[in-house]
């Protein structure tokens, strides 16, 4: 099997952009439901304004140029095309750091942290299998463990023998798993949101009363999520192909599907997402799904592979978590599967840490890995 790593440059054909503009000019809008508010999903009035900006104010070529500022590559691992950014630090002795995004994100999540992190780390930022330019998937079984093994192979091909890993959302599951499949190579695991597992609900009154006020609030929000927000997981994990037809054919459908979560998971929740994250950045993230037609395979990989989410052994690798205000990581449960050496609770920020609180995230990553005292690997492409 070829281990070739090929340079990659984004150059979306103009016909794709013209097709998108035409579709945005002839949207078939649904009638707004009573109240037209977030209780029933993305409000029609709000989405119309965002789509108008997408059609008349947003410039993909600017976003494309920003992505192309960073060296990008593709390689084939375990039969799957893998796209990744590889940004070398000017410090040859820097520690390699593997960053993994989640759903409904992409490598776009990390654009604001690349420059500050690359002063101290060699950065490897892959697109998850089935997501964006690593999509679509060509095989079944891309659970967390298989992704982790692919990431370990990617780092081997790049010549990195010792490295750190970091991620949020799906990345917060994949990153600890890289530590489990390659503990001799991973010097530390850093996640935002908590590395899991979640508590086995419902908790007994005795166990609930033994938790701190902060952790009881997190348990309550997990319960609310299961009651009020779990529908998208049910759909994506059982009928990803059926969902894919609508999202791949309608850019507005694709945008609404991901923006629903950016509103729910940014902090404060009541604040419109474009007031938390730059709206062009939000559109660029949606564009990655639209241009690659990977709504279905991203859903399939993200939530259909249940075998990657069960009880797991502790790798022994030092693990840090920064838990922002929206997120629900609970240290007591995380310690059952992870060697937690640093845990930071923050009273601001949401689920999309690199987009919402890049400076705070960067500072925490730096402090954790500096405390480990490890130097990076020396050989790389």
Q: Sign of torsion, CA 155 98 109 238?
A: positive
Helix (H) or strand (E) holding 84: strand 80-87
Question: Residue length, the chain?
Answer: 381
- List, by residue number, the catalytic residues: 169, 303, 351
- Pair 353, 174: CB distance under 8 Å: no
First to last CA, the chain: 19
What does the alpha-carbon distance between residue 165 and residue 155 come to, in Å, rounded to a whole number? 11
Rg (CA), the chain: 20
Give the up-direction half-sphere exposure of residue 43: CA atoms within 13 A in the CB hemisphere.
14
| DSSP per position, 85-153 | EEE--SSTTPEEEEEE--TT--GGGGHHHHHHHTTTEEEEEEPPTTSGGG-S--SS---HHHHHHHHHH
């Amino acid at each position: 099997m070829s281990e070739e790593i090929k340079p990659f440059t984004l150059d979306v054909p103009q016909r794709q952009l013209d097709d998108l503009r035409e579709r945005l000019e002839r949207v078939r809008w649904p009638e707004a439901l009573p109240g037209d508010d977030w209780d029933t999903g993305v409000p029609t009035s709000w989405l119309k304004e965002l789509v108008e900006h997408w059609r008349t104010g947003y410039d993909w070529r600017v976003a494309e140029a920003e992505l192309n500022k960073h060296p990008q590559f593709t390689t084939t691992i375990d039969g799957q095309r893998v796209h990744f950014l590889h940004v070398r630090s000017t410090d040859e002795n820097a520690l390699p750091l593997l960053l993994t995004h989640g759903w409904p994100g992409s490598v776009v999540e990390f654009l604001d942290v690349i420059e500050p992190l690359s002063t101290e780390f060699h950065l490897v930022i892959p697109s998850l299998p089935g997501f964006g330019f690593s999509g679509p998937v060509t095989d079944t079984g891309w659970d967390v463990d298989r992704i982790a093994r692919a990431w370990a192979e990617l780092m081997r091909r790049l010549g990195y023998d010792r490295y750190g890993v970091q991620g949020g959302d799906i990345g917060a599951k994949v990153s600890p798993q890289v530590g489990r499949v390659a503990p001799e190579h991973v010097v530390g695991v850093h996640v935002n949101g908590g590395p899991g597992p979640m508590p086995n609900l419902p908790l007994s009154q005795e166990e609930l009363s033994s938790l701190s006020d902060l952790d009881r609030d997190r348990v309550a929000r997990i319960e609310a999520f299961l009651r009020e927000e779990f529908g998208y997981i049910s759909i994506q994990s059982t009928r990803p192909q059926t969902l894919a037809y609508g999202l791949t054919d309608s850019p507005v459908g694709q945008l609404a599907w991901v923006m629903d979560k950016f509103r729910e998971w940014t902090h404060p929740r009541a604040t419109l997402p474009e007031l938390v994250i730059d709206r062009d950045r939000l559109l660029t993230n949606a564009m990655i799904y639209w241009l690659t037609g990977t709504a279905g395979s991203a859903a399939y990989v993200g939530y259909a592979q249940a075998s990657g989410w069960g009880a797991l052994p502790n790798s022994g690798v030092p693990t840090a978590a920064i838990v922002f205000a929206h997120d629900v990581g609970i240290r007591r449960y995380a310690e059952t599967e992870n060697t937690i050496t640093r845990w930071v609770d923050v009273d601001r920020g949401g689920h999309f840490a690199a987009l919402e609180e890049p400076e705070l995230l960067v500072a925490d990553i730096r402090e954790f890995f500096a405390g480990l005292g490890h130097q990076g690997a020396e050989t790389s492409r």
